[in-house]
Amino acid sequence: MTNFPLDSKLLEQFIRKHEVDLNEIGIRQLKRLVDDFAEHSKTNFLHFEFGVPGIPADRLGPEEEIRVLSEDKKLPSTYPPFDGIPRLKKASAVFVKAFLNIDVLPENCIPTVGAMHGGFIAQAIAGRRYEHTNKILYLDPGFPVNKLQTKFLGLKCDSIDLYNHRGNQLIQKLENKLSTRKVGALLWSSPNNPTWLCLKEDELREIGKLLTKYDVIGIEDSAYFGMDFRFDYGVPGKPPFQPTVANYTDNYIIIISSSKMFSYAGQRIAVSVISPKLFKKRFDNLKKYYDTKRFGHAFVHGGIYPTTAGVPQSPQHALSALFEATAKGDYNYLKRVRTYGNRARKAKKIFAEYGFELLYYKDLEEPIADGFYFTIKRKGMTGGELLRAMLLFGMSGIPMRPTGTKREGIRICVSLVPEEQYGELKNRVKQLDEYLKTTGK
């Protein structure tokens, strides 16, 4: 059995060696630090830092990849179409009809190498439609990598704090920002990484109206599609449907990632669904960057072609099979990922029992839902201070500062810590609480 706390001098040495600030540390640096510290202190850590799928992929996907590769001998030597294989384009349109109740054509559905790739191209096109609307506005806190993309593209970044501004306040604040006519796109995820806040239908309706009024593109990053477990969004063709801005504006791109919903992160596949009207629209300024004025054409020939020239075909078949089975009601992915909600509910209880509070605890009038992530805080401590203390007790999570919030705390991702380890979690959190109390926290 490990004795806690671990050696704080050793931890300081590693923090110095890695030249990191625990308040600002990003996920990759943190992984290296935790790996080093865990190895030298011979401790198995409870890894709450990674936002990666923690349940295995269903066999359906890999088996479909194997099947198509073994049956079609020419597949590996054939370049994929830039805009995706017809099967996936069709399956995506059927899927969004079944689960979002929106009508799009197969041509409007474009596979990308993960949602990251879709977000990158969506920003590049949406942010360059007009000379001066080169700002990407975020609903924060959010996924820091999207902002790295904004910087990489030479676009500007702005944000609205989603916790301080909900409902009417959010809409007012948004109108203030959009009326400057400098914003090209609004980007959000709902459920939100890192807080698990979920936008409500009323909010999406008003957001949609403003996107139309000010000609701004909504980039709806559905990395956690259908995963607001308070509702059952898993019955094809039947309400409730996952709320989407697509019901309220023609200025949208919805990015659906296979990574978390189907635990298919390693095969790097997602689909960007572009509003049929927007797809056909022409913008003079796009010509300069993409040799075409047409939005959809710019996405495929100006975006996909020069970046990856398409998506590997066997993962496209896997995602087709998963979409097809889900839309027919033969496969219910939500039954599997619901595990994350159960884990979160139990883990939150343990932290609460030992003096930790939820950093984000309200979703409008309701308590925040249980999902892939939750956030914790300890009175009087910055995220970095809390992380340092957690590391001494064999636990890691990511500090909130890099996600674009001024609130101090830690994001806990429950995906890699199964419930069998919750006895050990309780033991460590209890000892951490006792330790913090001795330091006056």
Q: Which residues bind ligand PLP (CB under 6 A)?
A: 51, 114-116, 143, 189, 193, 221, 223, 257, 259, 265, 270
Helix (H, G, I), strand (E, B) or coil at 432: helix
Contact 333, 261 (CB under 8 A): yes
Nearer to ligand PLP by Cβ, of 221 and 408: the residue is: 221
Which is nearer to ligand PLP, 193 or 275 (by Cβ)?
193
Of residues 193 and 195, the one with the C-beta less far from ligand PLP: 193
Residue 328: both structure tokens together: 């027919």
Residue number with CB closer to ligand PLP (41 or 193): 193
Alpha helices in 359-421, H assignment, sequence order: 383-392
CB of 429 to ligand PLP, least distance (A): 25
Strand 357-358 relative to strand 270-274, pairing: unpaired
Q: How far apart are CA 231 and CA 163, in angstroms?
A: 21
* Separation of alpha carbons 306 and 303, rounded Å: 6
Report yes or no: 376 and 351 within 8 Å, Cβ to Cβ. Answer: yes
Nearer to ligand PLP, 212 or 308 (CB): 308
| Six token digits for residue 105 | 């054509």
Tokens for 280, please give them: 């056909």
Closer to ligand PLP by Cβ: residue 187 or 432: 187
Q: Count of residues for the chain?
A: 441
Residue nearer to ligand PLP on the CB measure, 92 or 259? 259
Could you count the other beta carbons within 10 Å of the beta carbon of residue 369? 19
Tokens of 31: 């992984």
CA distance 109 to 124: 17
Asked whether 133 and 392 are in contact (CB, 8 A), the reply is: no
